[in-house]
């Protein structure tokens, strides 16, 4: 399912009411019970991205809930990267995730979820692969003016670089809100965020991909994937074997030092 599928993508408004009422428990909320029944009925594993209100501190998170084929709550992943670009004012509502890069070992394969803006961060994709993901879903809500040129490239690149299937999922249509809001760019106030261009697709480790769904109409994409391809492509290209993770780790540790000096030769 798309990012925060239970409601409109209201983050552009910066309004707390009534939108915060969509926040719910990951394992006890209405959407979980709804999805659980469908998963059990159809023997499906379902990824359900919601706005979560945690059961302890009442903290708000952008969360993907994984429900297994028996309707059981398997766990959740909270969005690691919060956008601060254009009308994506999401830091007004929720915190950066604290769940790392979990992989869920389902009966249909090892799956992970890289939520929306995380697709712009190659290391985020990489960590799911290092944890053993075979399919990484990217539930999103993004509009044409901002990101459409990037959309067909990023998940496909991730599939190639990390030897797994990557699934780009985007909502579709135009949402109009009751009150006008501004974008902080000097432009006039407006009530619409922009057009969510859909175009969901599946990319394979060998660089192939399915056609995308419509950019204007709702749709369901049914795709059969051969998870053996993950290992076959890994053995062919040896990206993990030839990677210099030790060198990257050392360089990143140095970069985190406030006194870091770039390795530039003049």
Active site residues: 3, 79, 116
What's 34's DSSP letter? Answer: H
193 three-state secondary structure: strand
Place of tokens 């670009």: 85
**Helices 151-162, 122-130: crossing angle, 10 deg rounding:** 40
Question: Quick one: how far is CA 46 from the chain centroid?
Answer: 14
152 contact partners, CB below 8 Å, separation of at least 6: 199, 201, 209, 212
Per DSSP, which regions of the chain are E strands? 46-53, 60-67, 73-78, 84-85, 88-89, 104-106, 109-113, 135-140, 165-170, 172-181, 190-197, 201-203
Yes or no: say if 105 and 80 are a contact pair by the CB < 8 Å rule: no
CA 61 to each of CA 48, 55, 91, 94, 115: distance values in angstroms, whole numbers, following the listed order = 13, 11, 10, 5, 12
Yes or no: say if 51 and 62 are a contact pair by the CB < 8 Å rule: yes
């Amino acid at each position: 399912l798309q990012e925060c599928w239970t409601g409109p993508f209201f983050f552009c408004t910066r309004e707390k009411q009534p939108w915060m009422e969509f926040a719910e428990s990951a394992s006890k909320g209405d959407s979980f019970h709804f999805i659980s029944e469908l998963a059990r009925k159809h023997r499906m594993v379902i990824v359900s991205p919601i706005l979560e209100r945690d059961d302890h501190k009442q903290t708000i998170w952008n969360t993907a809930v994984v429900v297994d084929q028996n309707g059981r709550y398997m766990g959740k992943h909270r969005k690691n990267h919060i956008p601060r670009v254009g009308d994506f004012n999401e830091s007004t509502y929720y915190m950066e995730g604290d769940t790392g890069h979990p992989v869920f070992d389902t009966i249909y394969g090892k799956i992970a979820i890289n939520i929306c803006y995380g697709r712009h961060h190659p290391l985020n994709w990489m960590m799911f692969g290092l944890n053993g993901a075979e399919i990484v879903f990217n539930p999103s809500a993004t509009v044409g003016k901002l990101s459409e040129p990037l959309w067909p490239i990023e998940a496909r690149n991730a599939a190639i670089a990390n030897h797994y299937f990557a699934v780009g999922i985007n909502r579709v249509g135009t949402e109009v809100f009751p009150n006008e809001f501004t974008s902080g760019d000097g432009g006039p106030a407006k009530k619409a965020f922009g057009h969510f261009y859909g175009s969901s697709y599946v990319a394979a480790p060998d660089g192939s991909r399915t056609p995308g769904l419509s950019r204007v109409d709702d749709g369901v994409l049914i795709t059969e994937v051969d998870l053996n391809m993950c290992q076959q492509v890994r053995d062919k290209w040896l990206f993990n074997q030839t990677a210099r993770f030790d060198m990257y780790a050392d360089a990143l540790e140095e970069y985190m030092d406030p006194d870091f000096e770039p390795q530039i030769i003049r």
